[in-house]
Amino acid sequence: MRPRLALFDIDLTMVKTGGAGLRAMARAFREFTGHAGEVAMIRPDGKTDPLIVPELFAANGQTYAPEDYEPFMLLYLKHLDDEQRTQTDWTLMPGVRDLVARLAASPAWRLGLVTGNDERGARLKLAPFGLNSHFPVGGFASDSALRHELIPIAIRRASEHYKVSFSPADVLVLGDSQKDVFAAQRAGVRVLAVAAGLTSAEDLRAAAPTALVSDLSDVEGVIGLMERMLS
C-alpha cells in the first residue's frame, strides 16, 4: 500500500509549553528594545513567528523593520531554550506520544511537521520529549510567513526524504486552530482538527475541517479515523 503523510502542528496539537513561547518573546523584546513587552493581547495560535513578531512590536508601540527579525529571533531562541531548561510545565498533549510512536512504526504512514514556529524553535519544543527523530522534515515559519505555503514545502521535503512522491490526496494535516484548517483547505489536503487548544470545537467546526476530534487520547480511534479520511 502506498504510504500516507501525516503533517503535525506543534503547539497545543502535540505540545503544551504553558506560555513559554510568549514569555520568551517578552524577554527577547525587553532585551532587544529596552522596553517591557506586554504579550497578553497577542493570540499566537495558528500564526507564524514572522507575523507574531511585528504584531508584538506594534502592540507595544515600537517600530519594527524586517531586518529586525533575525536578531530578535536569536534572542527569542535563547530565552526559549532557557524556558525549556528551567520550567516544569511543558507537557505532551493527551495521546500524542502513543499516536506518534504508532504512526512512526507503521509502514502505512510517514510523518512531518507543519508549524508556525521557526524550525529552530520547533526543534527546541520537541526536544524534551524525544520527538524530533520522528519528524525529519516539515514546513516551518523560517520558510514562509504564510501558513498555507508551508504545506507544499513540507510535502516536497517529505517526498524527497522518504523517496515517495506524495500528492495532496495522500496528505493529512493535524492542527488545533482555524488557521490550520484554512491552510490545509487552501493547499488541497485533508485536515483533522483537534479541539484541545485555544480554539473551541464550535469554532473549529465552523471552519469545516475534514474531521474533528476533542483530543488525540483515543489513539486507536484516531488512527482509524485518519485511515478513513484518506481512503
DSSP 59-123: HTT----GGGHHHHHHHHHHHHHHHHHH-S--EEPTTHHHHHHHHHH-TTEEEEEE-SS-HHHHH
pLDDT for the residue 80: 96
> pLDDT per position in the chain (231 positions), as tens?
789 999 999 999 999 999 999 999 999 999 999 998 888 888 888 899 999 999 999 999 999 999 999 999 999 999 999 999 887 789 999 999 999 999 999 999 999 999 999 999 999 999 999 999 999 999 999 999 999 999 999 999 999 999 999 999 999 999 999 999 999 999 999 999 999 999 999 999 999 999 999 999 999 999 999 999 999
CA distance 93 to 21: 16
Res 46: pLDDT: 87
Give the span between the Cα atoms of 222 and 149, in whole angstroms: 26
Residue given cell 525529519 in the structure block: 136
| Cα 14 to the center of its chain, rounded Å | 8
Query: What are the extents of the domains in the chain?
Result: 4-17+90-229, 20-86
How many whole angstroms separate alpha carbon 147 and alpha carbon 139? 9
- pLDDT at residue number 44: 85
pLDDT at position 83? 93
Angle value at C-alpha 77, between 74 and 82, nearest 5 degrees: 130
The secondary structure of 151-173 as a DSSP string is: HHHHHHHHHHHHT----GGGEEE
With 0-12 / 13-18 / 19 or more C-beta atoms within 10 angstroms meaning exposed / middle / buried, residue 133 is: exposed
| CATH code for the domain defined by 4-17+90-229 | 3.40.50.1000
Q: If you ran DSSP here, which 8-state letter would residue 212 be given? A: E
**Cα Rg of the chain (Å, integer):** 17
CB atoms near residue 76 (< 10 Å): 27
pTM: predicted TM-score of the whole model, two decimal places: 0.95
Best CA proximity match to 42, nearest among 31, 29, 53, 27: 53
